[in-house]
Amino acid sequence: MAAGASGIEGGRAAAQARERPVRRSLGGLLAVVRQIVGAPDYGRYLVHHAACHPGTAPLSAREHYLEFVSRRFGGGATRCC
Amino acid sequence: MLALNMRRLLSSLVWIAVAALGATAFALLALSRGESISAAWILCAGVASYAIAYRFYARFLALKVFALDDRRATPAERLNNDRDFVPTNKWVLYGHHFSAIAGAGPLIGPMLASQFGFLPGTLWLIAGVVAGGAVQDFTILVLSMRRDGKSLGQMAKEEVNSVAGVAAMLAILAIMIILLAVLALVVVNALRSSPWGLFIIASTIPIALLMGWWMRSVRPGHVLEASAIGMVLLLGALVAGQWVSRDPTWSRWFTWSGTDLSFAMIVYGFFASVLPVWLLLAPRGYLSTFLKIGTVLVLAGAILVVLPQTRMPAISQFVDGTGPVFAGKVFPFAFITIACGAISGFHALIASGTTPKMVMRESESRMIGYGGMLMESFVGLMAVIAAATLEPGVYFAMNVPSGVLGTTGDSAARVIAQWGFTLHPGQMEALARQMGEATLLSRTGGAPSLAVGMAAILGGVVKGSGLALWYHFAIMFEALFILTTVDAGTRVGRFMLQELGAHLWKPFGRTSWYPSIVLSSALIVAGWGYFLYQGVVDPLGGINSLWPLFGIANQLLAAVALCVGTTVLIKMEKQRYAWTTLVPLAWLAAVTLTAGWQKVFAADPRLGFLSHARVVARGTATASSARLIFNDRLDAALALVFMAVVLVVIAASAREWWLVLSRRKAPTVNEAAFVPSAYAAGD
C-alpha cells in the first residue's frame, strides 16, 4: 500500500512536470482548495485507480461524483454547531 | 554547542516576550473600568495565550501523554482508499477540519453572553479552549486515529462499557434535536419581517438546485466551477434583496411572520433529509464552506485594520443573575451560553468522524486537533469584539425580548435607562433605516446584533460602502451556516434513529428504504420542529429557555468525550497524566449540573422552568397558558434527563477507573496494531 502511495506521488509529479509552470501552480492551488472544502478530484481518482486496480474499468466522472458526495454528506456528522 | 545555546536563549527570550505581552493584555482588560479600550488587547490576550498553550501544553500532551509516534502508520496510510481514508497534507487538513467544526455557535454564544460584559466571555473563551476544548478535540482525534477512525459512540462502548455507549448515543441524539431547534430559531428571528434577508436565503434554494444539477449532469464533479457560479448568483441575490425590500409588492411577498418561517424551516429540513444529497445538501454545503472560510478571513483582517474601541462595559451589573437577555448568574450561565469556542462536545463527533481518517502522520494531529480548536476560539473572540463595539443601549434594545422592552423605541429607551444605559430617541429607528430593516428592536437570537457589529467593522474598512449591504451579508453568512447544519444535522439524526429503530423492527434500519427514510426524517424534524415552534411563540422569546438547554446538552457531550479520554489514559497506564482530561471534566460536571439544577428548580420564575410553570398556573387558565405549563415541564424533564446522562456516564467511567487502578481488571486498550510508516518522520 505504501509503495502504491509513493508510486502515485511519483506518477503525478512526472505528469505535472510536463505541464507549464503557471498552469501547474494553478492546478496545485485548485487541488488544495478542493481538498480543503472536501470536493472530489476525479483526475486524482483516475491515477489512484490505474495504480491500485489495474485492469478494471474506473467509474465515470458522474458515478465518481455521486459516490463521493453520498459518502461525504450521506451519513455521519460533517457539520458542527 | 554554542550555536545551540544561543538558539535556546533566543527562543526563551521570544517566549518570555509573548508571555509578557499576554500578561499586559490581560492586566489592561481586567483593570479597565468604565473607559473604552482597543479591541486589539482582546486579540493580544487571546493570541499570546494560544501561542503559549500550543507551544508548551499541546507539546506536552503530544510527547508525554499520547506519546505520538511518526514511525507508526496512521489509518490514512494503512487503509488509503482515496475516498474517506486519504493521507492529507496537514495544512489542507487543518482547513478542512476547521471548516467542519466552526459553525454559528462560536458567533452566537459570545454575543448573548455579552450581557455580562465582554470580560467573562473573553476569559472563558481563552481559558476554556486552552485547558478544555482543545484538549478534548485533540484527545478524541488521537484516540480515534489509533482506532482506525472509530466514532465517539463506538469508543465509549468499547473502551468504557456498554452503559456509556448507550448514554453517548442518547446524548448525541438529544443534542441534535435541541441544537437544530435553537439554531433554526436563530434563523427565524433573523429573517422575521426582513424581506431582504428572506429573499437572499430563499434564493439559495434555487441556486443550490442549479449547482446540484451542474455538478451532476452538466459538468460532473466540477465543484469549484459550480461554487463560483453559485457565489456570483448569491452576491447577486444579496444586491437584488435591497430592491426587493424597497418594492412594495415584492417586499410584502417576502415579509413573513415567525410562525410561517418556522413551518417553512420544518418543511425544508424534511426535504433536505429525504432528497438525494447531490440535489440540495452537497451544493449548499460547498457554498457555505466557501462563504465561511472567506468571511472569517475577511472579518479577522477587518478587525486588525479597524482595531475598534470597546463600548460595552467589561463587566456589567447583570453578573448577579438579573440579566434581561437570559436569566442566571455569570456562574454557571456564562459557561453554558458560550459552549462552542471554549469547549464543544459536538467537535468530538468530527474529531472521531472524517478527520482521523485523513491524518498523514501522528504528530500532525497536534496542529489539527489542538490548533484547529484554537482557531475556533479565535472566531469566538471576534464575536466578542463585534459585541463589545456595540453601544450598550443598542445591544440591549436588540437582544432583549419585546415582553420586557415594549414595542416602541420610546418604551425600550425607558426600560434601558433603568439599567443605566442610554438609548437616544429615534436611535433604533435610524439604525434600522441604516441597516435596511423595518425594525431592529427585540431582534433576539444574537444574529442580528452580530450582523450590526460586523457591518460596523466591515463598513469601517471600505469607507462609503453601504452598511445595509454589509448587514445583510452578515445575516446571509450566519443563516447559510446554520441552514447547512440543519440540513446535515437532520440527516445525521435520521441515520441514528434508523440505527436505533432497527433494534425494534429490522427493515427500519435499511438506510436507503424510502418508507423508513420518510418516517425517520419526519420524526427528527417533528422533534426539533416542536421546540422551534414553541420557541417562536414563547412570549419570553424562546432563546431564554432553549439556548441554555443547548449549552447543557453540548457540554454534556463534552463530558462524555472527556470520560472516554480519561478512561483510555488510565487503561494506557498514563494515570499520572489523567488530570489533563479530569480537570476539564470536573469543571464541566460542576457547570452542567449546577446550570441544570437551577434551570429546573430555581425559585426565580425567569430562571426555573418549574417555578415559571407555577406562576403561569396561578393566572387565568387559557389554551396558551396550558401550553406554556406543558412546555416548562417538558424543558425541565429534558434538563433532568441531561443531568442523569452526565451522572450515569461519569459513574460508569469511574467504575472502570477503579477496576483498572485497583488491579481488578487488566489495563488493556483496543488500539490498532503497530504498522511502520513509510512516510519519513518529522516535518
Question: Do residue A3 and residue A30 come from a single domain?
Answer: yes
Cell of B584: 476539564
Question: Do residue A34 and residue A49 come from a single domain?
Answer: no
A interface test, pick of B72, B77, B80 with most A CB neighbours within 10 Å: B80
Q: What is the pLDDT of residues A10-59, one digit of tens each?
A: 445 545 555 556 667 888 888 888 988 888 889 888 988 888 888 889 99
Residue A25 lies in a domain: yes
Neighbouring C-beta atoms of residue B375, cutoff 10 Å: 21
Question: Do residue A54 and residue A28 come from a single domain?
Answer: no
Taking the CA of residue A38 and the nearest CA in chain B, the distance in Å comes to: 7
Q: How far is CA B509 from CA A78, B177, B494, B500, B513, in A?
A: 21, 20, 10, 8, 8
For B88, phi and psi rounded to 5 degrees?
-125, 140
Question: Do residue A3 and residue A20 come from a single domain?
Answer: yes
Q: How far is CA B298 from CA B292, B294, B683, in A?
A: 10, 6, 29
**The pLDDT value given to residue A18:** 52
Check A70 against B277: CB less than 8 A apart: yes
Question: Do residue A22 and residue A48 come from a single domain?
Answer: no
Contact (Cβ atoms closer than 8 angstroms) between residue B344 and residue B133: yes
Handedness of CA B193, B199, B200, B203 (dihedral sign): positive
Check A44 against B82: CB less than 8 A apart: yes
Distance CA B485, CA A76 (A): 12
Check B678 against A44: CB less than 8 A apart: no
The number of CA neighbours under 13 Å toward the Cβ of A56 is 9
Cell of B546: 432553549
Considering only alpha carbons, which residue of chain A is nearest residue B677? Answer: A2
Check A64 against B183: CB less than 8 A apart: no
Question: Do residue A31 and residue A44 come from a single domain?
Answer: no
Residue A75's pLDDT band (cuts 50, 70, 90):
low
Largest CA distance in chain B: 85
Residue A54 lies in a domain: yes
Question: Do residue A21 and residue A34 come from a single domain?
Answer: yes
Residue A33 lies in a domain: yes
Cis previous bond, B392, omega within 30? no
SS3 content of chain A, % helix, strand, coil (to 5): 75, 0, 25
Measured in residues, chain A has a length of 81
Q: pTM, whole model, 2 decimals?
A: 0.92
Query: Which of B151, B223, B554 is nearest residue A39 as measured by Cβ atoms?
Result: B223
Check A81 against B151: CB less than 8 A apart: no
Check B285 against A73: CB less than 8 A apart: yes
**Any CB–CB contact under 8 A between A70 and chain B?**
yes
Neighbouring C-beta atoms of residue B194, cutoff 10 Å: 30
- Cβ contacts of residue B461 below 8 Å, gap of 6+? B301, B302, B305, B306
Contact (Cβ atoms closer than 8 angstroms) between residue B124 and residue B49: no
Considering only alpha carbons, which residue of chain B is nearest residue A34? Answer: B224
Distance CA B330, CA B123 (A): 12
Check B223 against A37: CB less than 8 A apart: yes
Per the structure, how many domains does chain A have?
2
Taking the CA of residue A42 and the nearest CA in chain B, the distance in Å comes to: 7
Query: Which of A2, A30, A77 is nearest residue B678 as measured by Cβ atoms?
Result: A2
Residue A15 lies in a domain: yes
| A-proximal residues of B, 418-477, CB under 8 Å | none
Distance CA B215, CA B514 (A): 24
Pick from B683, B361, B87: which is nearest to A4 by CA? B87
- Helices and strands of chain B, counted as H and E runs: 30, 0
Cell of B240: 437584488
Handedness of CA B572, B578, B581, B587 (dihedral sign): positive
Burial class (CB in 10 A: 0-12, 13-18, 19+), B418: exposed
Which structural domain, as residue segments, surrounds residue A49? 40-75
**The pLDDT value given to residue A6:** 41
Considering only alpha carbons, which residue of chain A is nearest residue B106? Answer: A81
Taking the CA of residue A72 and the nearest CA in chain B, the distance in Å comes to: 8
Pick from B140, B63, B41: which is nearest to B354 by CA? B140
**The pLDDT value given to residue A12:** 52
Check B485 against A80: CB less than 8 A apart: yes
Contact (Cβ atoms closer than 8 angstroms) between residue B318 and residue B116: yes
3-state DSSP call for residue B662? coil
Residue A81 lies in a domain: no
pLDDT at A2 over 50: no
Check B223 against A40: CB less than 8 A apart: yes
Question: Do residue A2 and residue A33 come from a single domain?
Answer: yes
Residues of B whose CB is below 8 A from A39? 221, 223-224, 286
Q: How far is CA B74 from the centre of its chain?
A: 29
Residue A27 lies in a domain: yes
Question: Do residue A64 and residue A51 come from a single domain?
Answer: yes
**The pLDDT value given to residue B681:** 55
B200-209 core/surface letters (b: 16 or more CB in 10 A; e: else): bbbbbeebbe
Question: Do residue A14 and residue A29 come from a single domain?
Answer: yes
Question: Do residue A32 and residue A62 come from a single domain?
Answer: no
For B676, phi and psi rounded to 5 degrees?
-65, 145
Side chain identity at B446, as an amino acid letter?
G
What does pLDDT average to in each consecutive run of 10 residues of chain B (683 residues)?
82 95 92 85 95 98 96 94 85 91 91 96 97 98 96 92 88 88 94 94 95 94 94 96 94 95 95 89 90 90 92 94 93 94 92 93 97 96 95 95 90 94 92 93 93 92 83 93 88 86 84 87 95 89 87 92 96 96 97 96 94 91 88 94 93 96 92 89 49
Side chain identity at B589, as an amino acid letter?
A
Ordered DSSP codes for B127-171: HHIIIIIHHHHHHHHHHHHTTTT--HHHHIIIII-HHHHHHHHHH
**The pLDDT value given to residue B621:** 82
Considering only alpha carbons, which residue of chain A is nearest residue B358? Answer: A35
Check A5 against B80: CB less than 8 A apart: yes
**Any CB–CB contact under 8 A between B377 and chain A?**
no
ipTM of predicted complex? 0.81
Check A79 against B489: CB less than 8 A apart: yes
Check B89 against A35: CB less than 8 A apart: yes
Residue A68 lies in a domain: yes
Side chain identity at B121, as an amino acid letter?
G
Question: Do residue A1 and residue A35 come from a single domain?
Answer: yes
| B-proximal residues of A, 28-67, CB under 8 Å | 30, 32-40, 42, 44-45, 48-49, 52, 60-62, 64-67
Residue A80 lies in a domain: no
H/E stretch holding B109 reads helix B105-113
- Cβ contacts of residue B577 below 8 Å, gap of 6+? B64, B65, B569
